Structure 1
Amino acid sequence: MQFVHPALTWGFLLLLVPVLIHLINMMRRRRVQWAAMQFLLESQKRNQRSVWFKQLLLLLARMAAIALLVAIMAGLTTSDQWSSLFGGGGTHHYVILDDSLSMSDRTGGVEVMDRGREVIKQIAAAAAEKRTPQRLTLLRTSRAGAGDGGVARVDISGDDVDPSFRDSLEEALRSVDSSELSVGPAEAIAAVNRFITDNVENENALVYLVGDFRRRDWSQSQDVKQRLQELSTRTAEVHLVNCSRRNPVNLGITRLAPESATLAAGVPTFLEVTVRNYSDTPANGVQVKLQTYHDDGVDRKFTSAGEGLGTPHSEPTVYFEEIPPGEEVTRRAQIFFPTAGQHVAVAQLPDDAIAADNRRFQILNAPPSIPVLLVDGDLNQRNAYFMTAVFQPGEAVNTGIQPLVVGPQYLRDASLETLQGFDAIYLFDIPRFDGNAVEKLNQYAASGHGVAIFAGPGTTLDALNSLHDGGLLPAAVIGTKELAPSIPGEETVDFVPSEHPIFAVFRGEKNRFRNDLKFYKYYDLDATWNPSDNGAVLGKLRDGRPLIVEQQVGDGSVVTFLTSLTPDWNNWSITPGFIVTALELQAYLASGTRQSTERLVGSPLRLEVDEANFRSDALVYAPGADRMPTVKRDDAFLPKEETRPFRKLDYAGVNNITGDSLTGLSGVYDIWLTQSDGLPNLRRFALNVDPLEGDLTTTDRSELQAALAPVVFTYHTVESVDYSWSASEGFAWQDYLLYALLGLLVVEQILAFLTSYHPPVMGAAR
């Protein structure tokens, strides 16, 4: 037997108060001789034992009431040998440790994770001092659903807190560190809920959430609140232990991507770097070191670890004059890849609170050239002439774009696979579409490619409406229309562009490129078409009619110009602004296939290759200490899909030995496939940390109470020296004692009534 609040046990001395009151009352009585009372004394002697017995019971009842009240306030608990009679069975400590990236905050030279480990040791030390059986389970948030079938993997599973537990805890904590994953506490809380439900033994459950309590995870998380409410229904005590510091200084690289989708070997391009300031003060003079690794074509599949990514090149430092608090700023730097391949770009910030978000990786696939298909319906290929002049202006300027000029019959004869080898397809003045050409164009666009359509004198109404019927044109075409001449003396412009990126050269009120444009004739669309329902208008004429429209098809885009490219219906192709617009159009159309896919740490690596061209084996190289693929991680297998002629790799899950995520590190992952001819084939992936993890804004007690209400919890900070975590141990008697006290008070009132004198009521029957 013991008490949670031993100091209150001095209250048991109050048991003497009823005895003292009884003795004092006896001392106050005086003997008075009165002959008339002799008869009454004889009667009292006959009932004396009964009266004394009732008075003794009343005295004992009052003493017991005081004892029960003191026991309730002091928190009476008993060991398992007694509490088992009522369903109790010791205490089980469930510790949830937040090991997300933000726990690596090292402001002041000590990581928040170090403080979390010390808290766990204090919990174990406090439990070891208890007299009743104690057990402890340790679960990290990153492993709450990381096991087979989504089952949580624990570091300590219900081990007894005995004299040998300290050594086993030290060994377990040596392998516990902050990860680079972005995981909240919801899954871990749900796992503890399942643990408590599945536990057949009757134990008191104490749940500790040890972490940094960043605002993004706790302030608005209804999922976390719901899971904690489920814990409360299981009569589990909840303790929140905050190990964080208040809003340390931290910067993070949130984006690293090429400025243009047009990326090819031998063509200079710009790389954009975006840095966010998560702090409350401005950051001045920030420098980002930029480095590229050029793929030199060396086969590293069968080489030893440590070969790296290729030839390193230091690029110009990206300088940020000032980054305001809470904002992000983008700067760019020019890069150049002389050879084709899968090159790597790495941006690096100086060290601050979080190390992992100071790095950003990007894979830049630079092909030898960018193939585009120009389908010209004009017999003299005049349209292709103007577009080719933009894409290949001469030896002095290399855009990397390689056009192939064909006739309309090419669309009929080419396979979809052949068409998908082009970054974009341009259709000029097509009189008709034979076979399933429109269907193939639809599938081509749906796969993420872009299509540009130019009408003209050779285009027919049937051809344009077949595009509408095939889902490539948002509205039906009703015929050609001439633009009315402008009124002499009035300053008017024929073309009114939208804010679309391909028209950047035409922005500004008095833009000379836009003022030079003249349009005479165009195809008019159905007047009942509503762009808000389907499609979009990218540019209008001065009469308000659409001139350039866009239709989204799957992951791709189809942009239709309802006028000619050649100078038959306008003068656009012979103005200086056309060159810039055509290059921006190409970049926009190719963005669906060239855009950089942002993969976060922990995401699966997925591949799909043609079964006829690849074997089923693969090697996976994960990032090493320098975040480059120097460590052979796994022998992967690409099974064949049943209904499709493809092999598919879905590289995900956890390492069976360590329990860590297979893609839990930021950096570059190399997957080496084997072609049918035995030659290796490299596929590269860049995984980066979640930028949101760089936001280290914390919550406090009041914010947590407001966000989690009505959940009842006890809030701690590591600055507190009080590690008396538990409010209960063994079996808690408070509820039972309260019921006993209520019953005893009723008995006391009855005894008090029976032992007291009650004169007869006046007028009552005798």
Structure 2
Amino acid sequence: MFLYPALLAGFFFVAVPLLVHLINMLRHRKQRWAAMDFLLASYRKQKKWIRMRQLLLLLARLAVAALLIALLCGWTGGRQLLSVLGGQTTHHVVILDDSYSMGDSSSAGGGEAATAYGRALQSLQALTQQLAGDDGNHQLTVMRASRAALAVRGGNESGDVAADLSAQTITPDGRLISRVMSTTASPMRTDLIAAIDLAAQLMNATPADTSYLYIASDFRARDWATPERIAESMRGIEGKGTEIRMIDCAATPDGNLAITNVTPVQDVWVAGVPVVVRATIKNYGQSEVSNVAVGCRVIRYGEDVQTINVAESVSGKVESLPALMIETLAPGAEVTKSFQVFVNEVGTHAIEVTLPDDALAIDNSRMCTLPLSSDAKVLVIDSDPDAIGAYHISSVLNPGSQVRIGAIPDIQAPAFLRSATFDDLAQYRAIYLVDLPEVTDSAAAALQTYVERGGGIAWFLGGNVQAESYNRVLLGTDRQLLPRALEQTVELPDGDSSKSGDIVFGDTDTLIDPLRSIGDASLSLIGLSQSWTLVPAAEPTEDETTAMETASAEEDSPAEIEAGRVRTVLARRDTLPLVTQHTVGQGRVVTILTGLDGGWSNWTGDPTFVPFLLLTNASLWSGAAPATQRLVDAPLQKVLATNNYFPETKLAPPSTAPPRVPIEATASEKAGDDKVAVTYQPDDSLISEAIDVDDLLRPGVFEWGLIQSNGNGQVIPVASVIRVGEGDLRRADQAELVQSLLPMQIKFTSSADYTEQVSTAGSSTITLVMLALLALILAAEQALAYWASYHVSSSATPLKTGPWTLDHSRGGRHHE
């Protein structure tokens, strides 16, 4: 193996001494000379010995030329022949950070752009090539951070399962790492803790005389600014004598824009009714950007799309929408842009938002789905014989004329609820209960099941409500149909001129947030005389407070940290709650602590009542709506009603280079009455040979191919998205990082320097040996040259032959 193979032509120089010798032989000519006859006789007696000396001299000169050329070419092979130790085993463990920030293609020093993960693979390849020719027995373990995280999350904490290579002996053919070299950065966001812990497990289980740990990462500030957890895992390895080397694979980051969220606004998602979609873009770069065009498109999956089109990246019909324009966006800032989507076909459709190319490609595109149903019924029950409250609700939800909301009010008498079962209520997307005196226990049980499975209930509580009955039935036996127990009705104290009105906005992140920008002045015309009050909430315990603070610090935690947390939507002037919202299971409950008959307030005549009720209806509907996106590392499941679908399914993963290869499976998992499911779990696919885990981790549009009971096909898209955060490409300060890892002795090097180092590492030993050998051969050549020439002592007597004297010390004859 040679570092500079282009110089191999220099080996022709080895033939120069031989050519000189042959040419010198051609210069000799025969000439008879009597005085030399006795010397020729002596020469013939010793010519074998003389030729041997000359041959040794010639070979020495050839060896000198060959060694000089080998040194110039950087010969690194053959070191195993020079090993004097022999039998020593060294374990090399390489952890590859393949989180999606390693896809950063920022250019290093203006050179050719390459991803950080590509540089990590180059370092791995250089290390393997160096070890393949090195002396001793070298074993290699390679582990990607994403695979380690999946293994640990799946409960399989075996390093052998997570590792791409586990203590494999390095061979010279280079095929050992061929599969790893074909991998790319994963779409997962993960840290290195799981990989380091599993690597420690493998190192403990693998006997070796020496061990090395290499961590190839991009060392972003988000992960390494506070490396305490990583350092704790590393100390367990370093304390056992393992040398740790950090390979920095990232270049100085270029600018990066990322789409952090794409979602349809909470509303009644009905075919033929426009839906607003919001896209959030963040500038992770260090400079301001301007005039950025954001592309938008909708992919329609109507009834005519019945089979998966494997020849295309999507099977639906693609329709481009007008681009959005970002005029300016400061460093670290984000902006939310809204656009409207109108689809007149029932079904689940897909929406994609894209950004121009930049340093990190994976966060330049993000998708969501838009499940559109046909018009749905809502149940309205009013205890008032004149149904005044029901009239106000139905007038807003179904105004008639050219306005279409998507809700069809079904007004029923209170007797309907007394005998209603869950099946009776399941046909409604939302339920409005107005000033009911009491609720039977059987009705409460049906309502509880209805909400837990995604339904929505809105209570309007007026003067007919019997508080004791409500508290006992709606909050008993683990029911949560009220935010808290009702206490009493309280009149609102007289206000003063400093207050804008009787009602003000409550907590943020509630259903009425779209109206908050107008300010409390928009509610100033609402008059309120009295309302129900709730029993004050108990103060949270210290453990509960700590748990809530921890959850709120998580980047991906939902807005409502507690599943049943009560939020105040609107409050009275004296800060007591007037409208609350809370979740129960998959559904939502909105409680309005005043009636609609005009006795306690004039809200129904105020302009804000219409948007409030529309927003309330949208919130109640959303509980039953399917999710609009799925995280790439989350399970992928499809539940089928056996009376509507055949169990045979196909799943086509996203692909930018069709044809796609669908995964076929039969739904066999029980998922309730008359329902079966098929589930693809990335954690399980890590050890399963049936499904490639990389297929399940791809961001983009997955497509389910189903067969309905009537024989028609159906294609349902699923939007798979990455977790946000890795788009922040800021680097951790290396000096501070080394300081924080003390007393561990960590060696840092860039991937380029490391590749160069390992390419020449070990060659220094062979070079020193070759230099020593060259010196010995040069000395031997001089000795042989002296030995092969004619020399006599100064006291030797010259042989006289007439006028000529033969003087061996002069190597010839001379005339006296």
Q: TM-score range by the shorter chain?
A: 0.7 to 0.9
CA spacing shift, 1:707–1:683, aligned 2, 3 Å: farther
Sort the Cα spacing of 1:159 and 1:352 in 2 relative to 1 into closer, same or farther, 3 A: same
Task: Give CA deviations for 1:138-178 in whole Å, capped at 9, x if unaligned.
Answer: 33223336579464354444444443x33x15733541222
- Asked if 1 retains the 8 angstrom alpha-carbon contact of 2:369 and 2:629, the reply is no
Closer/same/farther in 2, CA of residues 562 and 651 from structure 1, 3 Å limit: same
Q: 1:221 to 1:601 in 2, by over 3 A?
A: farther
1:691 counterpart = 2:724: yes
The TM-score with structure 1 as length reference comes to 0.76
TM alignment of 1:98-113, pairs within 5 A = 98-108=97-107, 109-113=113-117
Which residue number in structure 2 is paired with residue 714 of structure 1? 747
Equivalent residues in 2 for 1:562-601, closer than 5 Å: 562-594=593-625, 596-601=627-632
**1:607 alignment partner, one of 638, 653, 659:** 638
Say if 1:132 and 1:729, in contact at 8 Å, map to a contact too. no
Kindly report which structure 2 residues correspond to 1:244-643, keeping only aligned pairs within 5 A, or say none.
244-301=250-307, 305-306=311-312, 308-465=314-471, 466-469=473-476, 470-483=479-492, 493-500=501-508, 501-503=510-512, 507=516, 513-525=522-534, 535-542=566-573, 545-594=576-625, 596-610=627-641, 613-625=644-656, 631-641=660-670
Shift of 1:277: 0.9
Gaps of 5+ in 1: 1-76, 731-766
Query: 1:472-517 CA distances to partner (integer Å, 9 max, x unpaired)?
Result: 2244445545556668x89762223324544458758986642221
* Matched position secondary structure for 1:144: helix
1:138 and 2:142 correspond: yes
Q: Is the 8 A contact 1:140 1:154 kept in 2?
A: yes
1:483–1:286 CA distance, 2 compared to 1 (3 A): same
Letter in 1 for 2:103: S
- Pick aligned residue for 2:694 from 661, 669, 675: 661
* SS of equivalent residue, structure 1 residue 593: coil
In structure 2, the residue corresponding to 1:695 is in which secondary structure?
coil
Deviation at residue 363 of structure 1 after TM alignment? 0.7
Moved more, 297-306 or 695-704: 297-306
Tell whether the 8 Å contact from 2:639 to 2:671 is kept in structure 1 after alignment: no
TM-score (norm 2): 0.71
Deviations 1:557-590 (Å, cap 9, x if unpaired)? 3222222113233211112111111112222333
1:152 aligns with 2:183: no
Q: Secondary structure at the match of 2:725?
A: helix
**How far does the alpha carbon of each residue in 1:695-724 deviate from its partner, in whole angstroms, 9 at most, with x for none?**
212224323223433333211113424338
Change (3 A) 1:512 1:223: closer
From 153, 176, 201, the equivalent of 1:194 is 201
1:70-149 equivalent positions in 2, closer than 5 A: 89-108=88-107, 109-144=113-148, 149=156
Cα deviation digits, residues 49-88 of structure 1 (max 9, x gap): xxxxxxxxxxxxxxxxxxxxxxxxxxxx99999868xxx7
Deviates more, 1:107-116 or 1:576-585: 107-116
Q: Deviations over 1:411-436 (max 9, x none)?
A: 33333244344332211121332351
2:680 maps to 651
- The alpha carbon displacement at 1:538 in A equals 3.6
Cα deviation, 1:668-718, whole Å, max 9, x if unaligned, reads 112234455555454432111222121212224323223433333211113
1:517 maps to amino acid: I
The alpha carbon displacement at 1:252 in A equals 0.7
The answer to whether the 8 Å contact 1:186/1:224 transfers is: yes
Aligned Cα root-mean-square deviation (Å): 3.5
Residue 441 of structure 1 aligns to a residue whose secondary structure is helix
Q: Is the 8 A contact 2:639 2:678 kept in 1?
A: yes
Q: 1:280 to 1:407 in 2, by over 3 A?
A: same
Q: Distance in 2 between the 1:290 and 1:562 partners? A: 42
Matches within 5 A, 1:227-246: 227-246=233-252
Report Cα offsets for 1:509-563 as digits up to 9, x if no partner: 986642221223433555x666879845443434555433444434443222222
Alpha-carbon distance in 1 for matches of 2:201, 2:499: 74
Q: How far did 1:456 drift? A: 2.8
Other structure's SS at 1:620 match: strand
**Contact preservation (8 Å) 1:80, 1:89:** no
Residue aligning to 1:34: none
1:226 aligns with 2:232: yes
Measure, in 2, the Cα distance between the counterparts of 1:100 and 1:311.
33
The equivalent position to 2:211 in structure 1, one of 194, 205, 213, is: 205
CA distance in 1, matches of 2:486, 2:162: 62
Aligned length: 644
Does the 8 Å contact 2:507/2:567 carry over to 1?
no
SS in 2 for 1:436: helix
* Secondary structure at the counterpart of residue 395 of structure 1: coil
Contact 2:645 2:706 in 1 (8 A): yes
CA distance in 2, matches of 1:186, 1:271: 37
